[in-house]
A = this chain, B = another copy of it.
């Protein structure tokens, strides 16, 4: 009995020490101020046993947009760069692309020309580069690309162009019993090969846009073939639909950066009990980029207008974050 008591006391002491160590500064890359305090307050409220805002662990669901919220999205969505690189790689097998838009512009590195084709052109580009192979083949293509491709401004792999304060936030939430999810307009299979390594988010907690797949036998081996047909677009009003489809319960916290995240924030914060909505505002032209209402990528207009009224926190990258990227200061 004495031994058991000793064990319990020592264990309790260890736990107290380690939780104090975490509590000391769970978000070291965030400057002291209202933004950081709001995040910490929310987490403390929903985890305080017996508190009026306590939320049981299984319901601590937090959803994160990816492009512009967890990693950068300028000068172009990284997945678009991937598609253009794929066009170049595949061009030898497609001589007809030399004369056919949007491939002609893509091969010439003329992004303006690509975008001139509008949504239809982009869709054609995606289907030509993302379909026509098995899921396992596509996963390998994405992994190979990530090893060699470098961001044009930072000259680093795209998976290093992630936001250090958000990495800390993900970890902080998980340490407090949250399940963290990505809910992105990006391709679900473009994200899954690296989200576990980079964000600690396993493939089954990634929600994204997708094309259809078909089960078939190839040389007697079962495969899933990727078809050139849209299955689901996980953007804007599609985000709550994707959340319901994959998670099946309403998150209590949502993190975004553009009007593409508006409905996800709206859906999340309309639930009863404690709710948290946060928008990352890109206002740091020096360390990252400054863009919002007029941007064609990551446009944030309605979100800025309505955040205060809806009780959503707007985080200034310039003021609220000490560091933007993990490689800063290295």
Tell me which residues from 125 to 162 in chain A have a Cβ below 8 Å from any Cβ of chain B.
Answer: 135
In the complex, which residues of chain B have a beta carbon less than 8 angstroms from the beta carbon of A231? 245
Minimum CB–CB distance from A8 to chain B (whole Å) comes to 8
In the complex, which residues of chain B have a beta carbon less than 8 angstroms from the beta carbon of A179? 204
* Residue in contact with A246 in the complex, picked from B3, B213, B246, CB distance below 8 Å: B246
- Chain B: CB-nearest residue to A245: B210
CA separation between A206 and B249, bound complex, in Å? 12
In the complex, which residues of chain B have a beta carbon less than 8 angstroms from the beta carbon of A263? 215, 222
CA separation between A61 and B7, bound complex, in Å? 34
- Chain B: CB-nearest residue to A4: B10
A248 within 8 A of partner (CB): yes
Copies in the complex: 2
A283 within 8 A of partner (CB): no
A241 within 8 A of partner (CB): yes
* Residue in contact with A7 in the complex, picked from B7, B204, B213, B249, CB distance below 8 Å: B7
Residues 176-217 of chain A: 1 if any B CB is under 8 Å from the residue's CB, otherwise 0? Answer: 000100000000110010001000001111100010011110
Q: Is the CB of B58 within 8 A of A249?
A: no
A residues with a Cβ closer than 8 A to B are 3-4, 6-7, 10-11, 58, 61, 135, 179, 188-189, 192, 196, 202-206, 210, 213-216, 221-222, 224, 231, 237-238, 240-241, 244-249, 263, 266-267, 270
8 A–B contacts from the bound complex (CB under 8 Å): A6-B7, A7-B10, A11-B11, A204-B205, A204-B246, A215-B238, A215-B241, A231-B245
Q: Which 9 A-B pairs have the closest CB atoms?
A: A203-B248, A7-B10, A215-B237, A7-B7, A215-B240, A192-B248, A204-B247, A222-B267, A222-B270
